[in-house]
Amino acid sequence: MNSLDINQIKQYLPHRYPLLLVDRVLNWESGKSINAIKNVTINEEFFNGHFPNKPVMPGVMTIEALAQTSALLAFLTMGQKPDENAVVYFLGIDNARFKRPVEPGDQLHMHVEILRHSRGIWKFQARATVDDQLAVEAELMCTMRSVADSPAAE
């Protein structure tokens, strides 16, 4: 069983506090799937405003956690670590469904499977659960580009 701790994860993802949203990879299988966790704490920056009286992790942040997990799977499958010029871009988010709020103290279990990879485009089926209850699911599409190739670099 392959696993990664936070220091190993940081070798594959450029994200850092407060946007690194994967704490541990429990297991992964190249070309197939990955299981990871995010420990949700009240110290998360977004809880200051979402919502002060009833803290709830924004849905967009749960999607981002799944996207980071997907990017990890892609890099692990390719057998390469990104360099400082690599950027992963969203191409699409389809069939996103939010089924349960994610709150401080929850442990978000993320499961991502590769649906397909063709011509630099990756498509994933992603799910996040809390206490075995579905919190969010979506199909995610992304591509990897060099910073020099990105429109912002022009």
- As a whole number of angstroms, the distance between CA 28 and CA 113 comes to 10
User: Which residue, among 98, 142, 107, 88, has the nearest Cα to 35 in the 3D structure?
Assistant: 107
pLDDT at 68 over 90: yes
pLDDT confidence of residue 146: 81
Selected catalytic residue, list 50, 109, 111, 117: 50
pLDDT confidence of residue 153: 45
pLDDT confidence of residue 9: 97
Class (C level, CATH) for 6-153: alpha beta
- As a whole number of angstroms, the distance between CA 26 and CA 31 comes to 16
Across the chain, how many H-helices and E-strands are there?
Answer: 2, 6
Sign of the C-alpha dihedral, residues 136, 108, 23, 21? positive
Read off the pLDDT of residues 76-120 as tens digits, 9 standing for 90 and up.
999 989 888 888 899 999 999 999 999 999 999 999 999 999 999
109 is catalytic: no
Q: Torsion angle, CA of 65/55/106/61, rounded to 10 degrees?
A: 0
Question: What is the CA angle 145-85-15, rounded to 5?
Answer: 90
Residue 154: CB atoms within 10 Å: 6
Read off the pLDDT of residues 124-151 as tens digits, 9 standing for 90 and up.
999 999 999 999 999 999 998 887 765 6
pLDDT at 1 over 80: no
Read off the pLDDT of residues 19-37 as tens digits, 9 standing for 90 and up.
999 999 999 999 999 999 9
For the chain, domain boundaries? 6-153
- As a whole number of angstroms, the distance between CA 94 and CA 129 comes to 18
pLDDT at 49 over 70: yes
**Cβ(86)–Cβ(146) under 8 Å?**
yes
pLDDT confidence of residue 95: 98
